[in-house]
Amino acid sequence: MLRPGRRVELLVFALSWLGVAYFHQGGGWNQNSRFALVRAIVEERSFFIDSFLLYGLAPGDGTADELLRYPVRNATFERNGAHYALAWRDARGALTPIDPDTAAGRALVAVDDVAASGDVAYFRGHFHPNKAPGTSFLAVPAYAVIRGVESLLSVPADGWWVLTCNVWLVSIFSVGLVTALGAVVMLRLARRLACEWAAAATALAFVFGTMTWPFGTFLIEHNVAGVALLAAFYCIERARDYTLQGTRSPSQQRVQQYLVAAGLCAGYAAVNNYTLAPLVAALCVTARLRVRWNPGPLWFGVGVIGPLLLLCAYNQTCFTTPFTTNYAYENPLFIAQSRTLGVFTAPRLDVLLALLFSPCRGLFFTSPLLLLGVAGLVLILRGRGPVVWGWLIGTVAAFLLLVNASFNGWDGGWTAVPRYLSPAVPFLALPLALAWERWPKTTGFFAAVSVAIQLLLTAVDPQVPIGDFGVTGVPVRSVAWVSPLTRYVLPLFLRGRPWPLLDELVDQTVALSERQARNRGTPAAELAPRAAQQRTDLHNRIESGKQTPFPLAGVTGPVSANPIGIYEGTYFHLFPADSQIATYNSFNLGEMLFPQQRLSLVPLILLGGFIAGRVFRNAVASPSGTGRSE
């Protein structure tokens, strides 16, 4: 029979996995490019995603389940007898051939407009994701099993529903599984700071009260990188436990094993996010300070070698050199020659403040609970925990904040949170264990607010179509108060449509018509009535679901609002807004009982509440033992 502490771990794992597996967020550039690489590796034994970039409708009435794939060769493709060349689009909308040598005599089309993703890189005739490959590698085993079973059952790989379910399952058994394991790692580390119930509360708050929850529900790298760093830290602490047991041979072997595991986890974090490489060095220093065993950094380095060689092999295969990154071959729009590595400059104070506090992307705006994590960090630095922990947590948070504040795409594109800070979230959440013990009511209040915000984001659409401010040069001060939560997520949940954004689009359309009418010499007395009538007509067309001048009108709530499929990069590229296919490109499991209703969240809330109750019942029964090892 499991002792209470182990039952707590099992229940925390189950609740966390349920929380992320319950949702599928649909398609988007980020996950679509990663899934294309997963398919290429499993189905073609290749790192080139040319065969999984362009999808189309099968001949017929446009409702057939199976889609067509158009092979891409040297950035060109053929469709319905016409020949096209793919092009990059710059900030002004101008098109530049991706491969000038093959574009002659072909019509140019922007890769953004026709491909499943614009997050691509191009090198010597082949496309690749413009992403670090670690998350795709992690998803390969799950997809290999899924596709193997489907092949035995003669299930076509390119059906829209098959693609949708496959990427959902792949996400569950890669990013989702890592997220749930990360909750257990958080629980074990938090036990070293506080009592069992506070450690359990910290683990659940980490998953459900921060951006960890929405980013655990689709194929994106953030949770994988953050949990890998946290796991490396945990392995260092376990190695330290064995050094305290003496110099016996078995203990030394376990020290070596845990240090190698720490290096492996830290190195794999960098394979998911290249900017984390300096934090690998920070963890190595932490290993030296905590383990205090001369060969310790050496064994840590042995672990790092594996992920490093994997990345070098991937780069050599794709780009003919191990010493490069995918980003070197992406759309030049995202790269500025005046910046370090094309994307970095000196940190900006206005960006830094926006990343922390603004409604636009503020970390503490969407997860106010993490303010208590900062308070807990202060307690650690004052002696309530290992001071080395405090300095590592501070180093991770400060480094990622400065990197994000230096990045030209600081806003993170279509998101409601500062997603590039996500690897710091586990470290900022860890000191919550002290906050739960010292200020339980205050921490509980902030936790409730944070969980409510993250539930809204996860249930409605965490891929908010408000962003790209940094790349396009929009001043921070002009967008700092633009809240994705109140302008997109809440209106969808409460009213079924993102009316603040739609009203802006209506106003822009009416203003454009007024200018055109004025230029044609229309009398001023007629302009106001015409504008009022046009505004009314547009609102009526949106309410009735009819075609309007802007695709966002087809995005409807209250839940699972994202209509983009894993096979397309834009709204309604293949299927119309009122189709069942577009509606179920994203979903939650409760919609099997309550389709497109808020009630679909009730099964999760009830079952999750029951499991959470069991967590704390067992946590109270578990012996308290701050600092004890597992």
Give domain status of residue 32, yes or no: no
Cβ–Cβ under 8 Å, residues 336 and 342 = yes
Q: Which residue, 330, 360, 378, sits at the end of a domain? A: 330
* Strand spans (E) along 98-256: 107-110, 120-123, 126-129
What's the whole-number average pLDDT of the chain?
92
Cα separation, 274 vs 252, whole angstroms: 32
Within 8 A by CB and 6+ apart from 139, the residues are 34, 35, 38, 170, 171, 173, 174, 175, 219
Which of 332-340's residues contact partners 24+ apart within 8 Å by CB, and which partners?
A: 332/88, 332/90, 332/96, 333/88, 333/89, 333/90, 333/91, 333/471, 334/408, 334/409, 334/471, 336/408, 339/408
pLDDT higher than threshold 50 for residue 519 = yes
55, β-bridge pairs: 69
- The more confidently predicted of residues 453 and 549 is 453
What's residue 408's pLDDT? 83
Task: Point out the least confidently predicted range of 131-135, 235-239, 525-529.
Answer: 525-529
**What phi, psi does 128 have (nearest 5°)?**
-140, 160
- Local structure of 347: helix, strand or coil: coil
Give domain status of residue 113, yes or no: no
Tell me how far apart the 2 most distant CA atoms of the chain are, in Å: 95
Neighbours of 627 (CB within 10 A): 10
Give domain status of residue 42, yes or no: no
Give domain status of residue 246, yes or no: yes
pLDDT higher than threshold 90 for residue 333 = no
pLDDT higher than threshold 70 for residue 553 = yes
Cβ–Cβ under 8 Å, residues 308 and 267 = yes
Rounded average pLDDT over 189-217: 97
Stated as kind and residue range, the H or E segment containing 155 is: none
What's residue 337's pLDDT? 46
| Percentage with pLDDT > 70 across the chain | 95
Within its chain, how far is the Cα of 91 from the centroid?
24
Give domain status of residue 310, yes or no: yes
Kindly state the tokens that stand for 627.
Answer: 């600092």
What's residue 293's pLDDT? 78
Rounded average pLDDT over 467-479: 84
Task: Point out the least confidently predicted range of 160-174, 244-258, 494-508.
Answer: 244-258
Cβ–Cβ under 8 Å, residues 385 and 379 = yes
∠ CA 582-412-30 to the nearest 5 degrees? 45
Give domain status of residue 101, yes or no: no
Within 8 A by CB and 6+ apart from 336, the residues are 342, 343, 408
Helix 196-208 with 4-21: angle, nearest 10 deg: 10
Q: Which residue, 554, 571, 601, sits at the end of a domain? A: 554
When pLDDT is cut at 50, 70 and 90, the band that residue 62 belongs to is low
When pLDDT is cut at 50, 70 and 90, the band that residue 163 belongs to is very high
In this structure, is the dihedral angle defined by the CA atoms of residues 357, 359, 362 and 364, taken in order, positive or negative? positive
What's residue 441's pLDDT? 97
Which residue type occupies 382?
A: R
Cβ–Cβ under 8 Å, residues 329 and 99 = no
Helix 249-272 with 222-243: angle, nearest 10 deg: 160
Stated as kind and residue range, the H or E segment containing 168 is: helix 160-171
Cα separation, 392 vs 544, whole angstroms: 55
Cα separation, 183 vs 203, whole angstroms: 5
pLDDT higher than threshold 80 for residue 427 = yes
Kindly state the tokens that stand for 112.
Answer: 């953004």
C-alpha closest to that of 376 among 363, 385, 367? 385
Query: Parallel, antiparallel, or unpaired: how do β-strands 23-24 and 120-123 relate?
Result: unpaired
C-alpha closest to that of 327 among 470, 137, 129, 117? 129
What's residue 250's pLDDT? 63
∠ CA 505-506-510 to the nearest 5 degrees? 120
pLDDT higher than threshold 50 for residue 55 = yes
pLDDT higher than threshold 60 for residue 144 = yes
Rounded average pLDDT over 513-542: 89
Give domain status of residue 234, yes or no: yes
What single DSSP character describes residue 534?
Answer: H
Decide: residue 541, CB within 10 A, 0-12 exposed, 13-18 middle, 19+ buried.
middle
Each residue's pLDDT tens digit, 608-624: 999 999 999 999 987 75
| Domains identified in the chain, total number | 2
∠ CA 391-387-178 to the nearest 5 degrees? 60
Q: Which residue, 554, 573, 601, sits at the end of a domain? A: 554
Kindly state the tokens that stand for 56.
Answer: 């189309």
Stated as kind and residue range, the H or E segment containing 615 is: helix 602-621
When pLDDT is cut at 50, 70 and 90, the band that residue 409 belongs to is confident
Cβ–Cβ under 8 Å, residues 35 and 568 = no
Within its chain, how far is the Cα of 11 from the centroid?
25
What's residue 543's pLDDT? 87
Cα separation, 411 vs 110, whole angstroms: 23
Range(s) of the domain holding residue 292: 221-330
Each residue's pLDDT tens digit, 346-388: 899 999 999 999 999 999 999 999 999 999 999 999 999 999 9
Q: Where are the alpha helices (DSSP H) in 292-431?
A: 296-319, 349-357, 363-366, 369-379, 387-406, 425-429
- Local structure of 79: helix, strand or coil: strand
pLDDT higher than threshold 50 for residue 338 = no
Give domain status of residue 74, yes or no: no
pLDDT higher than threshold 80 for residue 63 = no
pLDDT higher than threshold 80 for residue 341 = no
- Local structure of 88: helix, strand or coil: strand
Rounded average pLDDT over 74-93: 91
What's residue 523's pLDDT? 87
Within 8 A by CB and 6+ apart from 288, the residues are 296, 297
Kindly state the tokens that stand for 68.
Answer: 């067509």
When pLDDT is cut at 50, 70 and 90, the band that residue 60 belongs to is low
Which residue type occupies 608?
A: G
- Local structure of 68: helix, strand or coil: strand
Stated as kind and residue range, the H or E segment containing 610 is: helix 602-621
Q: How many helices (H) and strands (E) does the chain have?
A: 28, 10
Instruction: Verify cis geometry, omega within 30 degrees of 0, for the bond prior to 491.
Output: no
